[in-house]
Amino acid sequence: MEAAELELPFLAMDDAAFCADPLPHFAAARAAHPWLARSPDGYVITDYFAIRELMRDESKFAMPHRSIVSAMEAEGTPWGEFIVTSIQGQTDDVHKRLRDILQPAFTPRAANRQRALMARVIARLLDQWAPRGAGTLSFDFEEFAASFPITVFCEMIGASPDVVPGIRSSMEAIGVGFSMNRALLPRLQEAIGLMQRFADTLVAARRAGERRHPEPDLLDELIASVDSGKMADSELNNLLIFLFVAGYDTSKNVLTLIMYRMTEEPEVYARCAESVEYCRKVVEEAFRYLNPVTSARAVTQDFTYRDVNFATGDFLFLPFSMATRDPRAVEDPESFDPERKQTNTHLSFGLGPRICLGRYIALAQLEEGLRLIAQRILNPRMAGPVGWRAFPGTWGLKGLPIEFDAAEQEVQAAE
């Protein structure tokens, strides 16, 4: 049966009410068709196992980057070039070469080596945002969470934290670049321009012998790849920007979604202060429960899956974010249980040859962050309404106002 001729449930993924509460819409869609739905811009795979099976063979798909740049009429512009030449926009050999260059710095062991740095960054942020002994405080947790991944990545490449506000505003702009809104183009070009100048200046300073820390870091490794002919200067510039982009909205939105859930789980939250091991279970369950990414693929050759024929040019959405709330894949999916045995594990980092390279960094950052946050931000409670971001792409909260009790002064050890 042709996909185009099927009567399918419709998911209004661009609708504000849908973005605020997508779960019942997915449940209704699954009741109407076991694994497929339609949305304004393409088909949506609603079944956990179908997502896994389809992602097993990427040869019939392309990333949507070129189509999006073309729809935005931005070919040849700084933003358009950034998107199509990014590691995610690249294919085959170039994609593999760039992944191989990054791989050694993104192993679990390499991520673990960054844990002390991550803990230092979050402790510094907590000193500013939740000073000890300050009594009852309130702030927008999303604002707080926004600085964390950018500052960690700045530290990993030896950039000064002074650049964090400028990078953050560029990230906010670039993060909505796939919304197909041409009115955003001037802001996107400006943001990419700022990031390119930042990356060029950083690399030039390092080549001139300027460095903030004596120890070798990720930037040294990437510059060595240029010097040994493995990649071009322009590819290094693009990678540095892409790594900020890939780690920003995703990590910020996950941390904010975790805190949102924790306001409903005071006992779980209080235990997070005790150990990174417990935080690991909470983070794993939080990814299963709600996570931000819906990815997309353009079909590049006709193919049939479960008796449905898809045609070249079709667009498929893969909502990793909703996959592990599917009761056919996870028992009792609505209960948040950090102790549950994770069998059909979450798909938050994607699958296959394009699986997230930064996943171990992201996990280490969330685990270290959550433990220290739980030690310093006590009894968090909602202090106002939340908003929601667009669902396709990187979904999550738009603002999370919380009130909390700041931890007391640390008890000084007796002399």
User: Considering only residues 21-60, where is the footprint of ligand HEM by CB under 6 A?
Assistant: none
**Does position 391 bind ligand HEM by CB under 6 A?**
no
State which of residues 46, 147, 170, 251 lies at the interface with ligand HEM (CB under 6 A): 251
**Does position 401 bind ligand HEM by CB under 6 A?**
no
Taking contact as CB under 6 A, which single stretch among the options 176-184, 288-296, 301-309, 331-339 is the one that binds ligand HEM? 288-296
E-strand ranges in 129-211 read 136-140
User: Considering only residues 204-243, where is the footprint of ligand HEM by CB under 6 A?
Assistant: 243
**Does position 254 bind ligand HEM by CB under 6 A?**
yes
- Minimum CB separation of residue 132 from ligand HEM in Å reads 28
Say which amino acid occupies 4. Answer: A
State which of residues 126, 174, 203, 246 lies at the interface with ligand HEM (CB under 6 A): 246
**358 or 380, CB closer to ligand HEM?**
358
Residue 225, number of CB atoms within 10 A of its CB: 19
**105 or 402, CB closer to ligand HEM?**
105
**362 or 407, CB closer to ligand HEM?**
362
Contact characters 299-338, ligand HEM, x per CB under 6 A = ---------------------x------------------
Angle at 270 between CA 260 and CA 149, to 5 degrees: 50
- Rounded to a whole number, what is the distance in angstroms from the first to the last CA of the chain? 79
**Does position 364 bind ligand HEM by CB under 6 A?**
no
**Does position 294 bind ligand HEM by CB under 6 A?**
no
Say which amino acid occupies 327. Answer: P
Written as six digits, the tokens of 369 are 């962050």
**Does position 195 bind ligand HEM by CB under 6 A?**
no
**333 or 350, CB closer to ligand HEM?**
350
Scan for tokens 């790849």, then name that residue.
225
Would you say the C-alpha torsion 179, 67, 357, 325 has a positive or negative sign? positive
Residue 303, number of CB atoms within 10 A of its CB: 17
DSSP β-ladder status, 42-45 and 61-62? unpaired
Contact characters 93-122, ligand HEM, x per CB under 6 A = ------x-----------------------
Inter-residue contact 366 to 105 (CB < 8 Å): no
**Does position 250 bind ligand HEM by CB under 6 A?**
yes
Inter-residue contact 402 to 380 (CB < 8 Å): yes
CA distance 290 to 256: 11
State which of residues 111, 192, 293, 374 lies at the interface with ligand HEM (CB under 6 A): 293
DSSP single-letter state for residue 10: B
**Does position 281 bind ligand HEM by CB under 6 A?**
no
**Does position 82 bind ligand HEM by CB under 6 A?**
no
**Does position 199 bind ligand HEM by CB under 6 A?**
no
**Does position 168 bind ligand HEM by CB under 6 A?**
no
Instruction: With CB under 6 A as the rule, give the number of residues binding ligand HEM.
Output: 23
Residue 271, number of CB atoms within 10 A of its CB: 16
DSSP single-letter state for residue 190: H
User: Across the strands, what pairs with 137?
Assistant: 404
**291 or 324, CB closer to ligand HEM?**
291
Among the listed residues 31, 44, 40, the one whose alpha carbon sits nearest the alpha carbon of residue 3:
44
**Does position 354 bind ligand HEM by CB under 6 A?**
yes
User: DSSP string spanning 393-414?
Assistant: EE--EE--EEEEEEPPPPPPPP
Burial of 375 (0-12, 13-18, 19+ CB in 10 A): middle
3 state DSSP class of 169: helix
**Does position 146 bind ligand HEM by CB under 6 A?**
no
State which of residues 3, 29, 50, 87 lies at the interface with ligand HEM (CB under 6 A): 87
Residue nearest to ligand HEM (CB): 358
**Does position 126 bind ligand HEM by CB under 6 A?**
no
Share in percent of the chain as helix, strand, coil (round to 5): 55, 15, 35
State which of residues 260, 349, 360, 404 lies at the interface with ligand HEM (CB under 6 A): 349
Alpha-carbon distance values, 237 to 65, 193, 297 (Å): 18, 11, 26
Q: Which residues of this protein are in contact with ligand HEM, per CB under 6 A?
A: 87-88, 99, 153, 243, 246-247, 250-251, 254, 291, 293, 295, 320, 348-350, 354, 356-358, 361-362
